[in-house]
């Protein structure tokens, strides 16, 4: 009798549980990649940590990859680099100091590929590329470029062409130090207003390289 009663109670409990659960079960809500509750990792700015967004903050919004400050920086820096290349070409084969010769050659070799990269970026954005990107000498035909920080005047370039010996070395260093300092100002301005990360990285690279070259040229100038 005890065994039959136990079996009956167990059967009754099973039927009761089945009746409570019903034929269909409610699905358990889960966060998906498209759900507003799904966490999203947002990349931080250069030098800043990433952050995790949830809720409505995680919903993707259209973003702009660059702004006018990025375009201005690349356009102007192409012209700025072009003049540095022109100055190095003017003194090529005429400098007397071996270290001055070396840095003049490095400046030209480094800035030519940078110009090409900047031109490629501008084209990818559908922006106009300055003609001096292909022919640096064309920069001397645009007087408006002289308003950019550190740009040498036509009179200074003519004086550089006319100089010789140690005086040529001195003039080149003086002009290029001023030119590099102007580039640093342009990089700083972009850092305050630019948006494109790759352009920001380029500006940082230019800043580091030319700061070091300024120090080197100033040491050379003290010897001459």
Cα 159 to Cα 216: distance, rounded to the nearest angstrom: 23
Give tens-digit pLDDT for 157-190.
Answer: 999 999 999 999 999 999 999 999 999 999 999 9
**Residue 53 per-residue DSSP state:** E
* Mean pLDDT of the 141-164 span: 88
Give tens-digit pLDDT for 7-62.
Answer: 444 444 444 444 444 445 455 444 444 444 555 444 444 444 555 555 444 344 44
Of 115 and 32, which is predicted with more confidence? 115
Helix (H, G, I), strand (E, B) or coil at 220: helix
68-223 — its CATH code?
1.20.1260.10
* Mean pLDDT of the 142-147 span: 66
Place of tokens 């019903």: 22
| pLDDT number for residue 8 | 45
Task: Say whether pLDDT at 141 is over 90.
Answer: no
Share of the chain above pLDDT 90, in %: 67
Cα 123 to Cα 115: distance, rounded to the nearest angstrom: 12
Share of the chain above pLDDT 70, in %: 69
Q: Determine the Cα angle at 78 with ends 122 and 62, to 5°.
A: 30
CA distances from 94 to 11, 100, 113, 169 (A): 106, 11, 24, 9
Task: Say whether pLDDT at 153 is over 70.
Answer: yes
Cβ neighbours of 148 (radius 10 Å): 17
Task: Say whether pLDDT at 146 is over 90.
Answer: no
46: phi then psi, degrees, rounded to nearest 5: -55, 125
CA distances from 223 to 87, 113, 169, 219 (A): 21, 31, 11, 7
């Amino acid at each position: 009798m005890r065994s039959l009663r136990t079996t009956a109670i167990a059967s009754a409990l099973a039927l009761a549980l089945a009746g409570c659960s019903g034929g269909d079960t409610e699905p358990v809500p889960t966060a998906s990649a498209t759900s507003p509750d799904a966490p999203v990792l947002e990349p931080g700015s250069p030098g800043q940590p990433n952050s995790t967004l949830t809720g409505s903050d995680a919903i993707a919004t259209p973003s702009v990859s660059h702004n006018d400050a990025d375009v201005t920086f690349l356009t102007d820096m192409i012209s700025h680099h072009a003049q540095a290349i022109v100055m190095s070409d003017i003194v090529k084969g005429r400098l007397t100091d071996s270290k001055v010769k070396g840095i003049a050659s490095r400046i030209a070799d480094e800035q030519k590929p940078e110009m090409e990269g900047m031109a490629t970026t501008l084209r990818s954005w559908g922006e106009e590329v300055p003609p001096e990107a292909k022919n640096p000498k064309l920069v001397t035909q645009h007087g408006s470029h002289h308003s950019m920080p550190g740009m040498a005047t036509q009179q200074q370039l003519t004086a550089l062409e006319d100089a010789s010996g140690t005086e040529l070395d001195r003039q080149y260093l003086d002009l290029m130090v001023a030119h590099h300092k102007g580039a640093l100002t342009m990089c700083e301005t972009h850092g305050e207003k630019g948006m494109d990360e790759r352009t920001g990285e380029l500006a940082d690279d230019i800043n580091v390289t030319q700061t070091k070259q300024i120090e080197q040229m100033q040491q050379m100038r003290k010897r001459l």
